[in-house]
Structure 1
Amino acid sequence: MSGLGELDRPETPRSPGAWDERSRRSLTDVGGDEGGTDESGSRGAGTTASSRDRQSPTRARRSNADPVKALMHRHRELCERAVDPLEIAAGLEAHGVTDRTAARFRHRDVFSLAEEMYARVPRDDDPAPRPADPSAPRIGAAWLVLALLPGVLCAAAVAGLRLTDGRPRLIAAAVGALAVTLALRAALRRGPLSAATRTTGTWTCWLVGYALLGDGLLRTALAGGPDALPDGTADGAWPLTAAPVVALALSCAPAAVSAHLFAVRARRKLTSSRGLADFSASVRPLLLGTFALYLGALTALLTLTGAVLDEPAAHPQALALGALLLLARLLTVHGHAHSATLVLTATAAAEGAALATLFAGRLPGCDFLAVPVEALVAVCGPAGVPTAACGVGALTLLVHASRRLTRASAHAHADAATGRPE
């Protein structure tokens, strides 16, 4: 597929000598009509004449007049599997074909080129009706209930922790954590948040665990170490910040609905758009609107859980973490799991490094290690560490998503759009 990537280079001249052999054969007619009197035509006249001697006139004329046929042969599997021209357009874009490249095949844009390729695919009978789009599932009771389960079970687990003490409390915590994990796994395997790519949830668990325990651990480290527990913990209970975790668990449902709306409307934009630039320009506001819709729902849930649990809502760090997790999941769902995993790993490492430097700063001669974190906490409080780490990660993913999720290839069927590795 590297030949099409070379076609997209704007500095490539129209001379046949600058193309590879297969591209030269497929584009002979496109450049031949205009270039019959140019230098390339005079330079390759002998070769062209000798090749025509070895071919029948009909075959040579058909080969020269049909560059799209060579393109279809190169992308035969894509054309045969596609259920509509949109999937062919998305697959071509994923391999580097742009509207400028389509102009060399005598088409105004990639979409019209894909329509011709789809129409010319050999079929024994009329094509079957288009199946339901798996990237845009209907809002049904099944996946909506699964999206609500993590929040309900998390709220029940927190209630169990507050109503028990001693060993029963430890059992309630273990059972609640297991139940929430299984419910979240089920929600991510079905519905708009499901992805074909298997991803590890290790760093997500770390980030959520830090939201639950991180502020208390950070205060302990600043106070002098594990033996210096914060006020109000004389009984040995570790301070928990449950409100943001419950709000994040409850926000699985708004996240699923937001992802569903984004997928459905992006596919509609793909149907109505007549060019790649037009599609990108129309999807970018849709992505930002989806992002804002989720943040609004998460803000309301944070306020509600903070009032019910009588805890600080921890809006800054919880909003930053929620934004990070939503963008990472959207990228994973649409085929860009590598970048999402990379940013989640870097964010978790930043939070872990902040805690490690505080404890390392208590070693003799290592006071300087804790200075950056202490300065940040002095200005913003303990919430400054997760807010800064998750905020930078979310901003990075937002910029990346505005480039990746506004491409047509991100919204094609997973089995038809074969994107290039990131």
Structure 2
Amino acid sequence: MTTPDTGATRAVPAREDGPAARPAPPPKEATARPGRRGPADPVRSLMHRHQELCARAVDALEIAAGLEAHGVTDRTAARFRHRDVFSLAEELYARVPRADPEGARPDGPGHPPAPVPAQGPGGVRGVLQLLPGAVCVAALAAVASVGAAPPAVRSAVGAAGGVLLALAVRLAVRSGPLRLRHRGAGPWTAGLWVGWTAGYAVYGDWLLEQLLAGGPDLPHAAPRAAVATAVALSFALAPAAGCARWFAARGRRGLAASRDLGELAARIRPLLLAATVLFLGALVALLLGADAAFGGDGRTAMAAAAALGVLLFLARLLAVHGFPAAAATGVAAAAALEALALSLVLIARLPGLPPLDVPVEALTTAVGPAAVPAVACTAAAVGLLVYGLRALTGACAHRPAPSGPAEAQRP
């Protein structure tokens, strides 16, 4: 009797071992089901959408700049479970494998070489930025040397000097920190607006005086140029390039040190104001020097030239950092105001029309003819500065400058 009981008691643990092993699968199913029912990876769709950008980016900052250029903001990043664009860019940079372009140098994964400008062309670029001022002084000397020649000869020499000056300016802005990043960026009319405002700064005051007096008596009229203004604006390309280089370098440092767009904006706005003030100070010094060397055109003319210089500096800065359309709009607004002032004087000569030139004549009588470009350029410059304080605070405006063999060969 004891033997069956002992066998029975021994068989009970054997039965209990079997059922005890069966409840193990339910916990596995319970742990697997939530994984299948969980939400999909929210960043995966963004990875596929911006695959090329993430694969070719040299760091997370470049991805952040590209995302912002495509309209991704901090609020958009919150939908992908990130606090800001920078954090989202860091995850994309970590998850997307880097592309291996042909000819890439093996400098280590994730640490591509930083673009370092060549030391050789730096001196050439400095000379090119001083070239417009030298050409302007040479053109003035050539016109002065043919002062006793017939008017046709003087006009031909002056026109040749103007063409050479325009070519020198074009050469200076196509190299160094004033060069646009992308060819063909911006409207093709931008050059026309710059040429108009620069030409008005040199000959506009004389033309407005002649129109208000009933002239000009063409072709016998001899245009009077604002020599000091022309010389100062020609030499202003050098400090403009220096201030643009300073702003670009500090802007990239601010981008690298910022963790969100708010912090980046707080770093960039003082830099833009400081760069503008630095350039304005250099331009005023050039105007004072040119005024002492070539004779002054008046304080109002100096203020108008300073306003035009700041306007062109801000316009070029915006164009270089990816906003050429806004830059062209600002310069076009100043040109339109100047052209409107001249047009009102001419329209007022037509019979039966009200005296449309009263505002222009009153402003000229009270302040001087240079008040028209001073008001026009100041208003446009303030508008571009306000726009720049918002537009240049984005990450896409401070991408690293392109480098490579093609760039190294540029002067």
The answer to whether 1:129 aligns with 2:112 is yes
Equivalents in 2 of 1:138, 1:258: separation in Å?
A: 21
Q: Give, in angstroms, the shift of residue 334 of structure 1.
A: 1.0
Relative to structure 1, the CA distance from residue 352 to residue 100 in structure 2 (aligned partners, 3 Å threshold; closer, same or farther) is closer
Asked if the contact 1:361/1:369 (under 8 Å) is kept, the reply is: yes
Equivalents in 1 of 2:239, 2:87: separation in Å?
A: 37
Q: Secondary structure at the match of 1:368?
A: coil
Q: Give, in angstroms, the shift of residue 81 of structure 1.
A: 2.0
Equivalents in 2 of 1:142, 1:66: separation in Å?
A: 52
Q: Of 51, 62, 71, which aligns to 2:46?
A: 71
Alignment-derived partner of residue 149 in structure 1: 131
Asked if the contact 1:220/1:228 (under 8 Å) is kept, the reply is: no
Equivalents in 1 of 2:280, 2:53: separation in Å?
A: 38
Alignment-mate amino acid for residue 202 of structure 2 = L
Alignment-mate amino acid for residue 385 of structure 1 = V
Q: Of 331, 334, 351, which aligns to 1:347?
A: 334
Alignment-derived partner of residue 140 in structure 1: 122
Q: Secondary structure at the match of 2:179?
A: coil
Equivalents in 1 of 2:157, 2:89: separation in Å?
A: 57
Q: Secondary structure at the match of 2:390?
A: helix
Alignment-derived partner of residue 40 in structure 1: none
Alignment-derived partner of residue 197 in structure 2: 207
Relative to structure 1, the CA distance from residue 406 to residue 257 in structure 2 (aligned partners, 3 Å threshold; closer, same or farther) is same
Q: Give, in angstroms, the shift of residue 409 of structure 1.
A: 1.1
Equivalents in 2 of 1:387, 1:130: separation in Å?
A: 46
Q: Deviations 1:25-64 (Å, cap 9, x if unpaired)?
A: xxxxxxxxxxxxxxxxxxxxxxxxxxxxxxx979957x83
Asked if the contact 1:90/1:412 (under 8 Å) is kept, the reply is: yes
Alignment-derived partner of residue 224 in structure 2: 239
Q: Give, in angstroms, the shift of residue 381 of structure 1.
A: 1.3
Alignment-derived partner of residue 274 in structure 1: 259
Equivalents in 1 of 2:276, 2:55: separation in Å?
A: 36
The answer to whether 1:410 aligns with 2:397 is yes
Q: Of 372, 384, 409, which aligns to 2:359?
A: 372
Q: Secondary structure at the match of 1:140?
A: helix
Q: Give, in angstroms, the shift of residue 308 of structure 1.
A: 0.5
Alignment-derived partner of residue 408 in structure 2: none
Relative to structure 1, the CA distance from residue 154 to residue 245 in structure 2 (aligned partners, 3 Å threshold; closer, same or farther) is same
Equivalents in 2 of 1:184, 1:395: separation in Å?
A: 24
Alignment-derived partner of residue 358 in structure 1: 345
Asked if the contact 1:137/1:260 (under 8 Å) is kept, the reply is: no
Q: Deviations 1:262-304 (Å, cap 9, x if unpaired)?
A: 0000000000111110000110000000000000000000000
Alignment-derived partner of residue 293 in structure 1: 278
Equivalents in 2 of 1:72, 1:312: separation in Å?
A: 60
Asked if the contact 2:203/2:226 (under 8 Å) is kept, the reply is: yes
Unaligned runs of 5+ in 2: 1-31, 101-107, 403-411
Q: Give, in angstroms, the shift of residue 317 of structure 1.
A: 0.5
Cα RMSD between the aligned structures? 2.6
Which of these two proteins has the greater Rg computed from alpha carbons?
A: 2
Q: Of 243, 249, 258, which aligns to 2:243?
A: 258
Q: How does 1:25-36 map to 2 (within 5 A)?
A: none
Q: Which moved more, 1:178-187 or 1:308-317?
A: 308-317
TM-score (norm 1): 0.78
Alignment-derived partner of residue 23 in structure 1: none
Q: Of 161, 170, 174, which aligns to 2:143?
A: 161
Alignment-mate amino acid for residue 268 of structure 1 = R
Q: Deviations 1:176-233 (Å, cap 9, x if unpaired)?
A: 112111111111111111112154311111111111111111111111222399xxxx
Relative to structure 1, the CA distance from residue 221 to residue 151 in structure 2 (aligned partners, 3 Å threshold; closer, same or farther) is same
Q: Secondary structure at the match of 2:254?
A: helix
Q: Of 69, 87, 98, which aligns to 1:112?
A: 87
Relative to structure 1, the CA distance from residue 178 to residue 57 in structure 2 (aligned partners, 3 Å threshold; closer, same or farther) is farther
Q: Secondary structure at the match of 1:97?
A: coil
Q: Of 66, 78, 103, which aligns to 1:103?
A: 78
TM-score (norm 2): 0.80
The answer to whether 1:88 aligns with 2:63 is yes
Equivalents in 2 of 1:217, 1:181: separation in Å?
A: 21
Alignment-mate amino acid for residue 84 of structure 1 = D
Asked if the contact 1:137/1:192 (under 8 Å) is kept, the reply is: no
Q: Deviations 1:7-39 (Å, cap 9, x if unpaired)?
A: xxxxxxxxxxxxxxxxxxxxxxxxxxxxxxxxx
Alignment-derived partner of residue 8 in structure 2: none
Alignment-derived partner of residue 32 in structure 1: none
Unaligned runs of 5+ in 1: 1-55, 230-234, 416-422
The answer to whether 1:227 aligns with 2:212 is no
Asked if the contact 2:115/2:400 (under 8 Å) is kept, the reply is: no
Q: Of 289, 300, 322, which aligns to 1:304?
A: 289
Q: Secondary structure at the match of 1:369?
A: coil
Asked if the contact 1:283/1:406 (under 8 Å) is kept, the reply is: yes
Alignment-derived partner of residue 373 in structure 2: 386
Alignment-derived partner of residue 182 in structure 1: 167
Asked if the contact 1:82/1:88 (under 8 Å) is kept, the reply is: yes
Asked if the contact 2:252/2:400 (under 8 Å) is kept, the reply is: no
Alignment-mate amino acid for residue 145 of structure 1 = V
Q: Which moved more, 1:191-200 or 1:181-190?
A: 191-200
Work out the number of aligned pairs and report it. 353
